[in-house]
A and B are shown apart, each in its own frame.
Chain A
Amino acid sequence: MSAALPLEQPLPLPQPILEAHGLFKSFGHVVGLNGADIELYPGEVLAIIGDNGAGKSTLVKVLTGALIPEAGTIRLAGQVISFKRPQDARLLGIETVYQTLALAPSLDVATNLYLGREKRRGGPLGSWFRMLDWVAMRRGAKEFLKALGIETIQNISQAVETLSGGQRQAVAVARAAAFGTKVIILDEPTAALGVRESNQVLQLIRDLRSRGLPVILISHNMPQVFALADRVMIMRLGRRVAVVTPGTSSMENAVAIMTGAKQPD
Chain B
Amino acid sequence: MRVEAGYDSVTALGTPTETAEVLAKPWTLLERVQQVLHSYPALSPTIVLLGACAVFGLLNERFFYPANLSLVTQQVAVVGALAVGQTIIILTAGIDLSVGAIMILAQSVIAQVAFSNKVPGPLALALGLAVGAAAGAVNGALVSRLKLPPFIVTLGTLNIFTAIGLLYSQDQTIQGSNLPDLLNWTGTIVQIGSFRVTTGVVLMLALYAVFSVILSNTAWGRHLYAVGDDAEAARLAGISVNRVLMSAYVVAGIVFAITAWITIGRVGAADPNAATNANLDSITAVVIGGTSLFGGRGVIVGTLLGALTVGVFRNGLSLAGVQNLYQTLAIGVLVIAAVGLDQWIRRVGR
Report A's interface with B, CB cutoff 8 A: 66, 85-87, 90, 96, 98, 100-107, 111-112, 115-118, 120, 129-132, 134, 161-162
Comparing B138-146, B166-174, B236-244, B307-315, the segment that makes contact with chain A is B236-244
In the assembled complex, the Cα of A101 lies from the Cα of B232 at a distance in Å of 11
B220 touches A130 (CB 8 A): yes
Q: B266 interface residue, CB < 8 Å from A?
A: no
In the assembled complex, the Cα of A34 lies from the Cα of B14 at a distance in Å of 45
In the assembled complex, the Cα of A104 lies from the Cα of B241 at a distance in Å of 13
In the assembled complex, the Cα of A86 lies from the Cα of B232 at a distance in Å of 11
A104 touches B235 (CB 8 A): no
B236 touches A96 (CB 8 A): yes
B236 touches A118 (CB 8 A): no
Q: B121 interface residue, CB < 8 Å from A?
A: no
| Neighbouring B residues of A106 by C-beta, 8 Å | 225, 229, 296-297
A103 touches B237 (CB 8 A): yes
* Main SS at interface, chain A: loop
> CB-nearest residue of chain B relative to A95?
B238
In the assembled complex, the Cα of A129 lies from the Cα of B219 at a distance in Å of 11
| Neighbouring B residues of A111 by C-beta, 8 Å | 222
Report B's interface with A, CB cutoff 8 A: 217-220, 222-223, 225-226, 229-230, 232-240, 296-297, 349
| Also in contact, A104 and B296, with CB within 8 A (given A130-B218, A131-B217) | yes
A132 touches B226 (CB 8 A): no
Known: A115-B223, A131-B217. 15 other contacts (CB 8 A): A85-B238, A86-B237, A87-B238, A104-B226, A104-B230, A107-B229, A115-B234, A115-B237, A116-B237, A116-B238, A117-B238, A129-B218, A130-B220, A132-B217, A132-B222
In the assembled complex, the Cα of A96 lies from the Cα of B219 at a distance in Å of 21
| A104 touches which of B217, B218, B233, B240 (Cβ 8 Å) | B233
| A98 touches which of B222, B234, B236 (Cβ 8 Å) | B236
B238 touches A104 (CB 8 A): no
B222 touches A107 (CB 8 A): yes
B349 touches A161 (CB 8 A): yes
Closest 4 CB pairs of A and B: A116-B238, A102-B236, A104-B226, A118-B219
A132 touches B218 (CB 8 A): yes
* Main SS at interface, chain B: helix
A182: shortest Cβ distance to chain B, in Å?
Answer: 15
B225 touches A131 (CB 8 A): no
B230 touches A105 (CB 8 A): yes
In the assembled complex, the Cα of A116 lies from the Cα of B244 at a distance in Å of 11
B221: shortest Cβ distance to chain A, in Å?
Answer: 9
| B218 touches which of A86, A115, A131 (Cβ 8 Å) | A131
A146: shortest Cβ distance to chain B, in Å?
Answer: 22
In the assembled complex, the Cα of A120 lies from the Cα of B220 at a distance in Å of 12
> CB-nearest residue of chain B relative to A125?
B217
| Neighbouring B residues of A102 by C-beta, 8 Å | 232-234, 236-237
| Neighbouring A residues of B217 by C-beta, 8 Å | 131-132, 134
A101 touches B233 (CB 8 A): yes
| Neighbouring A residues of B229 by C-beta, 8 Å | 104-107
B233 touches A162 (CB 8 A): no
A107 touches B236 (CB 8 A): no
| A115 touches which of B238, B240, B296 (Cβ 8 Å) | B238
B289: shortest Cβ distance to chain A, in Å?
Answer: 16
In the assembled complex, the Cα of A12 lies from the Cα of B226 at a distance in Å of 46
22 examples of A-B residue contacts, CB within 8 angstroms: A85-B235, A86-B238, A87-B240, A96-B236, A98-B236, A100-B233, A101-B233, A102-B233, A102-B237, A104-B225, A104-B230, A104-B233, A105-B229, A106-B296, A107-B225, A115-B222, A115-B237, A116-B237, A118-B222, A120-B219, A132-B222, A134-B217
In the assembled complex, the Cα of A41 lies from the Cα of B236 at a distance in Å of 25
In the assembled complex, the Cα of A162 lies from the Cα of B38 at a distance in Å of 10
A128: shortest Cβ distance to chain B, in Å?
Answer: 11
| Neighbouring A residues of B220 by C-beta, 8 Å | 130
In the assembled complex, the Cα of A85 lies from the Cα of B220 at a distance in Å of 18
B192: shortest Cβ distance to chain A, in Å?
Answer: 27
| B236 touches which of A66, A117, A131, A134 (Cβ 8 Å) | A66
In the assembled complex, the Cα of A105 lies from the Cα of B231 at a distance in Å of 11
> CB-nearest residue of chain A relative to B229?
A104
| Neighbouring A residues of B349 by C-beta, 8 Å | 161-162
In the assembled complex, the Cα of A71 lies from the Cα of B106 at a distance in Å of 48
A196: shortest Cβ distance to chain B, in Å?
Answer: 13
| B239 touches which of A66, A115, A134 (Cβ 8 Å) | A115
